[in-house]
Amino acid sequence: MILDIHKFQKSQKIKFKNNSLLIEALTHKSANKKFNNEKLEFLGDRVIGLILSKKLIDLYPVENEGVLDKRFAILVNRETCCDIAWSIDLQNYIIIGNKKKKITRKDKKILSDCCEAVIGAIYIDRGYDFVKNFILKIWKKKIDNSDITILDSKTKLQEHSLKSYKKLPLYRLLSSSGPRHKPTYKISVSIIGSKQFIGIGGSKQHAEQNAAAKLLKGKNIN
């Protein structure tokens, strides 16, 4: 494991002062109930949020908070963090309880949580400036693509429903799960004559946006 850790550090041009922090960040709770990456993931989530929200403000100084929030949500969601984890080969270093299991792209929660934990570990070990540069480097492609036009699916669906049926879309909270600092919401939406479409997100607003986007796509509403 020591050789693997040094290999990862070399590939990412990181030299940890305290290697145990990196081991902790790579250790899933299934491998160790007491020594695992949950607290570092909690920290890393906030470090990523701070760095990327400041970057968005610098990139789009005249945009309103609502649009910035949508750009931010895309940059920090589970899918994106999973992509980032895969891009730096974290799947080859994660320590899980089942030693025979191979981490795949389908293990999105394990990958995204580990990505955040590694960021948290780097912040503690190397400080703000180093982790800022590291985040902006590995998120560069995602940030560069953040200038795409963001459509507000909820607003678009509402306008369509009111125009066609004179009624608002019906949203229902189906479930909420996960820790308090990082909840996951599942919300359904329907309009007159449609089935329910389900969206998942880290906030009720994002889950509603995702559900609305699925309905628009499913009903081919342009």
Q: Where are the domains of the chain?
A: 2-147, 153-218
**Confidence check: pLDDT of 2 > 70:** no
- The per-residue pLDDT for 15 is 95
Spatial separation of the C-alpha atoms in residues 119 and 122, rounded to whole Å = 5
Of the candidates 213, 114, 90, the one whose C-alpha atom is nearest the C-alpha of residue 160 is: 213
- The per-residue pLDDT for 147 is 62
DSSP string computed for 36-78? SSHHHHHHHHHHHHHHHHHHHHHH-TTS-HHHHHHHHHHHHSH
Domain pair 2-147 / 153-218, same fold: no
- The per-residue pLDDT for 168 is 95
The one catalytic residue among 83, 107, 116, 125? 116
The one catalytic residue among 45, 107, 113, 125? 45
**DSSP H helix total and E strand total for the chain:** 10, 3
**Confidence check: pLDDT of 186 > 90:** yes
- The per-residue pLDDT for 60 is 86
Spatial separation of the C-alpha atoms in residues 148 and 57, rounded to whole Å = 15
CA dihedral 7, 10, 15, 18 (to 10 degrees): -10
Task: State in Å, rounded, how far the first CA of the chain is from the last one.
Answer: 52
- The per-residue pLDDT for 9 is 95
**Mean pLDDT, rounded, for 129-139:** 98
Q: Three-class SS of residue 184?
A: strand
Q: Give yes or no: 147 in active site.
A: no
Identify the burial level of 211 via C-beta atoms within 10 angstroms of its C-beta, where 0-12 means exposed, 13-18 middle and 19 or more buried.
Answer: buried
C-alpha R_g of the chain: 20
- The per-residue pLDDT for 150 is 56
- The per-residue pLDDT for 155 is 85
User: Right CATH number for 153-218 from 3.40.50.720, 3.40.50.1370, 3.30.160.20, 3.40.50.300?
Assistant: 3.30.160.20
The pTM (predicted TM-score) of the whole model is 0.73
Of 2-6, 100-104, 132-136, 195-199, where does mean pLDDT reach its minimum?
2-6
Of 28-32, 140-144, 150-154, 185-189, where does mean pLDDT reach its minimum?
150-154
| Fold entry, domain 2-147 | Ribonuclease iii, N-terminal Endonuclease Domain; Chain A (1.10.1520)
Contact 123/35 with Cβ under 8 angstroms? no
- Name the percent of the chain lying above pLDDT 70: 96
Q: Give yes or no: 45 in active site.
A: yes
Of the candidates 81, 91, 93, the one whose C-alpha atom is nearest the C-alpha of residue 138 is: 81
CB atoms within 10 A of CB 87: 13
